[in-house]
């Protein structure tokens, strides 16, 4: 039985802050950051946006493209490291808003930036097992870096949603793998507002080692080469890492560019590679093969191989395209407004 | 149905009355009205109050206030219709006498608004809007009236300056009223440059937060004639009340207040009069746009002409139809539950010819219009000097 | 003073989360949220319908002094919006320069956080309009 994606959707908030605006506050060299991280601006959620609202909008867009009855959705997984409630699921709100309750399995997932692809992995497997007709997986985050920390330049907001099924696919899932080790490169302890990271240890021994591991696993499992793919999407914590990893693995700039959003979006954490894949599906042609590897600190990568079907041309315009959201209707904000929106200002009672 | 007259009137101190509680304010007004009527007993008490539970944590005002007045034992009832609570308390008293349930009723209204923070006051007032359809989404009363103003501007070409002229006129009237909360005169420029509250309404388009109480003594005509003390006897010639959906969105024409129109039609019909018979009116100018829309709803000007009334001077003292000679809610102040009764106090004062510098010459028929929310509770009284 | 009691919040989910409304079987008028009596004809039988999330601004304001629940969101636009079929809703217009709002402006409804009961209480979600 062939399983895969029957509908997909992305949501990117309209607010943006430029790197230079952040750098000016902390006396940092903006040009050096922009060059070093290949990062120019990032999305910022409004005061009325959070992982749940972005997940609902992305999921509704996936539903619009899927054209299915929401009651046929048997599982809802929301992956995020910024669930609005520490206890009480995001997924229940998403399922309720879609009209998928009550015969639905629901779980909130967390695995740093991998929580979104994690849900996709589980959702696909659940459909393949025959337990459910359709399964929804969402990756969404409104992540925060500590003020002045390197992560503050990249931590952004966005969501992507995928509905998996076994019929009317827009992309088949040809293979999926997972590569995981215990690697303490980035974490946030309970009750802490901001995460901590291990500096340069987050690079080679974490992101690159894990991404390469999953990539090799996936190529070995499928017997395919980088040249066999029309597009490749990697986790994008900044602009630089995914390009460097992809090229080292043998992918070309052209293969990587369509899903490479981070220079103007920032790192949407659980949303990062899933949103990248939506941008690829917006452009892909029937028959295109797509390579995707996520990464979550801690650390692990999920890898997927997709093949786009003819149906992509029918559903593409049923919801807003990702690049359009990235490029249009942007509202630039100052650091002061950013600090207010992100709860960085100590308020009176 | 028996005829009813107003034989006594009283107001408490009015404004930010830091040293008076709700019960003290109310008792001041009640005693003033009883003294004005020259009586020391009543058969029944009605109390209009919008939100004492939210403002001072006190419900059950009927018994509380009868006790304060040393009249425990007298039937005493609180009525609530948001900012129309006072007007409805007056109508309730009227109905008790008309029906023969009582011969003398003390009809009152009270609100103590400054014992809570500005935030809590805003939230308490907002309870008169639709909690689920409006307030949940961040609506405030200035915002709802601002949306009515926008609708009126779009439909009739009413201008921002015309709104301001209502405030200017009412402050000029209030400057002549020793009882008004704000007695300073203002200009159109002052209004236009005052702080924005809910566009297009600025702070000087809004009535203030006020502590105060008002009371009138009502009596059947036979009793009333004995209590006239040589003063003109003021009869309540017509009473009308109507309701509407409280959410503004439910109103087909958001540039109109149909409940006020319905209430006015009932009151005019009962009085056997028409809008042309009115010499002076006290209307519910909680916001400048409200006076404009209310004049249209009452039939005191044609639909769409409300904006021109203050501008032309017609509704100013000395004009053909002075409106809000007291200064209105805008300048005199707006202790919400007291307002409807205070309007009647002003009209009685005018019809008695006792309004001093703000006296409307030869006023023999007066009208009060009091409303709650965006007009979903509207009550109109027509008063006249009894022959 | 928050009015966000959890039971009260949850009870409104059909309308707030899913825009569920009721069409009167007698006269066809759509009530949102659903209710027991049709305000147009007093009919008591209804069929469930879902509102289309697109509409236009009928009237609006820009709030500069907000209630406690939205005190720090000012300035924000609030509007009465007419959705398809003539159904009206009152809600905020988000993600817009408030000075650019005008009557007739095309909007669509998006799922947003509307209020929260402080930092520790429930979060109430619903819809706001955004420029279409």
Per residue in B342-372, pLDDT tens?
999 999 999 999 999 999 999 999 999 999 9
- The confidence band for B387, taking pLDDT boundaries of 50, 70 and 90, is confident
For residue A95, what pLDDT band results from cuts at 50, 70 and 90? very high
**Rounded-to-integer distance, Cα B318 and Cα B168, Å:** 15
- What's residue B39's pLDDT? 97
Are both B269 and B330 inside the same structural domain? yes
Residue A58's nearest CA partner among A124, A129, A120, A131 is A120
Contact of B111 with B210, CB cutoff 8 Å: yes
Distance CA B321, CA B121 (A): 34
Determine which helix (DSSP H) or strand (DSSP E) holds C17, and give its type and residue range.
Answer: helix C13-18
What rounded mean pLDDT belongs to chain A?
97
pLDDT of residue C79: 98
Same domain, B99 and B171: no
Which residues from chain B sit within 8 angstroms of residue C61, using beta carbons?
142-143, 146-147, 150, 198-201
Cβ contact C3–B131 (<8 Å)? yes
> Is residue A338 within 8 Å of A142, Cβ to Cβ?
no
Which among B150, B154, B247 is the nearest to C90, CB-wise?
Answer: B247
Instruction: Please provide the average confidence, as pLDDT, over all residues in chain C.
Output: 95
Option in C18, C73, C111 nearest A57 (CB): C111
For chain B, how many structural domains are there in total? Answer: 2
> What CATH number belongs to A4-170+316-341?
3.40.47.10
Same domain? For B241 and B364 the reply is yes
In this prediction, residue C31 carries a pLDDT of 96
Most C-contacting residue of A10, A12, A43, A53 (CB-CB within 10 A), to test interface: A53
The pLDDT of residue B126: 96
How confident is the prediction for chain B on average, in pLDDT?
A: 98
pLDDT per residue as tens digits for the range A164-216: 999 999 999 999 999 999 999 999 999 999 999 999 999 999 999 999 999 99
CB-based contact (8 Å) between C5 and chain B?
A: no
ipTM value, please give it: 0.97
- The band of B106, judged by pLDDT with boundaries at 50, 70 and 90, is very high
Verify that B179 and B41 share a domain, yes or no: no
Q: What percent of chain B has pLDDT over 70?
A: 100
pLDDT of res. C85:
84
Our CA-based measurement puts residue C95 at a distance from the nearest CA of chain A, in whole angstroms, of: 7
Q: Provide the angle, in degrees to the nearest 10, between the axes of the packed helices A240-248 and A209-222.
A: 40
Q: Are residues B138 and B257 in the same domain?
A: yes
Name the DSSP letter for residue A267. Answer: B
- Where in the sequence of chain A do the CATH 3.40.47.10 domains occur? 4-170+316-341, 175-308
pLDDT at B297 over 90: yes
Tokens of A69: 């009855």
The C-alpha angle with vertex B378 and arms to B375 and B379, in degrees rounded to 5, equals: 160
Q: What is the mean pLDDT of residues B287-301?
A: 98
Give B23-69 pLDDT, tens digit per residue. Answer: 999 999 999 999 999 999 999 999 999 999 999 999 999 999 999 99
B123, B195, B198: residue with CB nearest C61? B198
Q: Where are the domains of chain C?
A: 6-131
Q: Is A106 a catalytic residue?
A: no
| A239 Cα distance to chain centroid | 14
Phi then psi for residue B260, to 5 deg, are: -70, -40
CB < 8 Å to C52, chain A:
none
Nearest CA in chain A to C68: A349
What is the pLDDT at residue A348? 85
Q: Does the pLDDT value for residue A1 go beyond 80?
A: no
C115 φ, ψ (degrees, to nearest 5): -150, 165
Contact A72, A133 (CB under 8 A): yes
Are A340 and C112 in contact (CB < 8 Å)? no
Q: Tell the burial category of B316 from Cβ atoms under 10 Å away from its Cβ (0-12, 13-18, 19+).
A: buried
Q: What angle in degrees, to the nearest 10, is found between the helix axes of B336-352 and B85-98?
A: 60
**CB interface of C with B, residues 95-114, below 8 Å:** 98, 103, 114
Mean pLDDT along residues C10-24: 97
Tokens 């009672």 sit on residue: A349
Instruction: Give C-chain residues touching A57 at CB under 8 angstroms.
Output: 110-111
Interface touch C64/B250, C-beta < 8 Å: no
Does residue A30 surpass a pLDDT of 90?
A: yes
Q: Is the CB of residue B357 less than 8 Å from the CB of residue B183?
A: no
Asked if CATH classification 2.40.50.840 holds for the domain at C6-131, the reply, yes or no, is yes
Chains in contact with A, where contact means 3 or more Cβ–Cβ distances below 8 Å, are C
Q: Are A50 and C72 in contact (CB < 8 Å)? A: no
Note whether B159 and B143 are same-domain residues: yes
Mutate to test the interface with A, among C113, C121, C124 (most CBs of A within 10 A): C113
Q: Residue B325 belongs to what domain range?
A: 118-208+234-385
Q: What is the pLDDT of residue C2?
A: 62
Contact A96 C95 (CB under 8 A): no
In the A/C pair of chains, how many CB contacts fall below 8 A?
51
Write the CATH number for B128.
3.40.47.10
What confidence score (pLDDT) does residue B234 get?
98
* CATH class of domain segment(s) A175-308: alpha beta
Same domain, B191 and B129: yes
Active-site residue set of B: 83, 334
pLDDT at A349 over 80: no
Task: Name the token pair of B232.
Answer: 């003109």
Phi, psi of C37 (to 5 degrees): -130, 130
């Amino acid at each position: 039985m062939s399983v895969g994606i029957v509908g997909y959707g992305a949501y990117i908030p309209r607010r943006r802050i430029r790197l230079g605006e952040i750098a000016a506050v902390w006396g940092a060299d903006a040009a050096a950051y922009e060059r070093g991280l290949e990062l120019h601006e990032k999305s910022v959620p409004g005061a009325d946006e959070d992982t749940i609202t972005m997940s609902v909008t992305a999921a509704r867009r996936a539903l619009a493209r899927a054209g299915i009855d929401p009651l046929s959705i048997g599982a809802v997984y929301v992956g995020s490291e910024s669930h609005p409630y520490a206890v009480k699921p995001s997924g229940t709100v998403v399922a309720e808003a879609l009209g998928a309750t009550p015969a639905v399995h629901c779980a909130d997932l967390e695995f740093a930036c991998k929580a979104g692809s994690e849900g996709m992995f589980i959702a696909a497997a659940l459909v393949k097992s025959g337990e459910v007709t359709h399964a929804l997986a969402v990756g969404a985050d409104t992540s925060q870096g500590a003020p002045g920390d390197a992560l503050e330049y990249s931590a952004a907001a966005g969501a992507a949603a995928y509905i998996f099924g076994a019929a009317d696919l827009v992309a088949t899932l040809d293979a999926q793998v997972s590569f995981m080790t215990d690697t303490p490169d980035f974490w946030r302890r309970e009750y802490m507002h901001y995460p901590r990271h291990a500096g340069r240890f987050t690079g080679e021994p974490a992101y690159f080692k894990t991404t390469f591991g999953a990539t090799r696993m996936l190529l070995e499992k499928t017997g395919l080469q980088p040249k066999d793919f029309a597009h490749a999407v990697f986790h994008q914590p900044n602009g630089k890492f995914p390009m460097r990893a992809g090229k080292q693995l043998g992918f070309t700039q052209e293969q990587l560019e369509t899903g490479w959003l981070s220079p103007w979006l920032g790192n949407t954490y659980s949303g990062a590679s899933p949103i990248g894949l939506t941008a690829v599906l917006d452009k892909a042609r029937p028959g295109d093969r797509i390579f995707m590897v996520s990464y979550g600190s801690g650390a692990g990568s999920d890898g997927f191989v997709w093949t786009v079907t003819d149906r992509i041309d029918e559903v593409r315009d049923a919801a807003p395209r990702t690049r359009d959201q990235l490029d249009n209707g942007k509202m630039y904000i100052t650091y002061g407004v950013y600090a207010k929106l992100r709860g960085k200002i100590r308020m009176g009672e | 149905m028996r005829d009813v007259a107003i034989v006594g009137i009283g107001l408490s101190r009015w404004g930010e009355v830091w040293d008076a509680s709700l019960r003290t304010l109310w008792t001041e007004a009640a005693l003033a009205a009883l003294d004005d009527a020259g009586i020391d007993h009543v058969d029944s008490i009605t109390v209009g109050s919008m939100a004492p539970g939210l403002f001072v944590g006190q419900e059950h005002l009927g018994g509380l206030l009868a006790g304060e007045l040393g009249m425990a034992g007298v039937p005493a009832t609180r009525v609530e219709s948001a900012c129309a609570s006072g007007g409805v308390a007056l109508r309730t008293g009227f109905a008790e006498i008309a029906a023969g349930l009582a011969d003398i009723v003390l009809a009152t209204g009270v609100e103590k608004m400054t014992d809570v923070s500005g935030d809590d006051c805003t939230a308490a007032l907002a309870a008169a809007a639709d909690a689920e359809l409006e307030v949940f989404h961040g609506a405030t009363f200035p915002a709802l009236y601002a949306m009515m103003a926008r609708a009126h501007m779009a439909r009739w070409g009413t201008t921002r300056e015309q709104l301001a002229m209502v405030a200017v006129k009412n402050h000029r009237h209030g400057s002549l009223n020793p009882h008004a909360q704000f007695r300073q005169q203002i200009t159109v420029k002052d209004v236009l440059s005052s702080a924005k509250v809910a566009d297009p309404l600025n702070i000087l388009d809004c009535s203030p937060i006020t502590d105060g109480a008002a009371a009138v003594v009502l009596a059947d005509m036979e009793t009333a004639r004995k209590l006239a003390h040589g003063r003109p006897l003021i009869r309540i010639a017509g009473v009308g009340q109507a309701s509407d959906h409280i959410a503004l969105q439910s109103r087909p024409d958001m540039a109109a207040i149909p409940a006020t129109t319905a209430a006015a039609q009932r009151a005019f019909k009962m009085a056997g009069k028409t809008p042309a018979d009115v010499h002076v009116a006290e209307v519910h100018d909680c916001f400048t746009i409200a006076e404009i829309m209310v004049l249209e709803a009452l039939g005191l000007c044609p639909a769409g002409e409300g904006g021109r009334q203050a501008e032309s001077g017609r509704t100013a003292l000395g004009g053909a139809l002075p409106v809000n000679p007291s200064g209105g809610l805008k300048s005199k102040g707006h202790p919400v539950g007291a307002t409807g009764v205070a309007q009647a106090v002003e009209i009685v004062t005018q019809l008695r010819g006792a309004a001093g510098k703000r006296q409307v010459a030869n006023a023999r028929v007066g009208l009060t219009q009091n409303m709650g929310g965006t007009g979903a509770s509207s009550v109109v009284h027509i008063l006249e000097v009894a022959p | 003073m928050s009015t966000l009691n959890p039971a009260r919040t949850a009870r409104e989910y059909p309308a707030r989360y899913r825009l569920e409304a009721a069409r009167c079987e007698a006269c066809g008028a759509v009530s949102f949220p659903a209710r027991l009596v049709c305000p147009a004809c007093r009919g008591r039988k209804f069929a469930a319908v879902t509102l289309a999330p697109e509409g236009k601004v009928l009237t609006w304001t820009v709030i500069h002094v907000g209630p406690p629940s939205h005190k720090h969101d000012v300035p924000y636009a609030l509007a009465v919006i007419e959705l398809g079929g003539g159904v009206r809703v009152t809600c905020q217009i988000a993600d817009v320069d408030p000075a650019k709002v005008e009557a007739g402006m095309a909007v669509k409804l998006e799922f947003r956080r509307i209020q929260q009961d402080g930092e520790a209480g429930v979060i109430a979600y619903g819809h706001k309009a955004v420029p279409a």
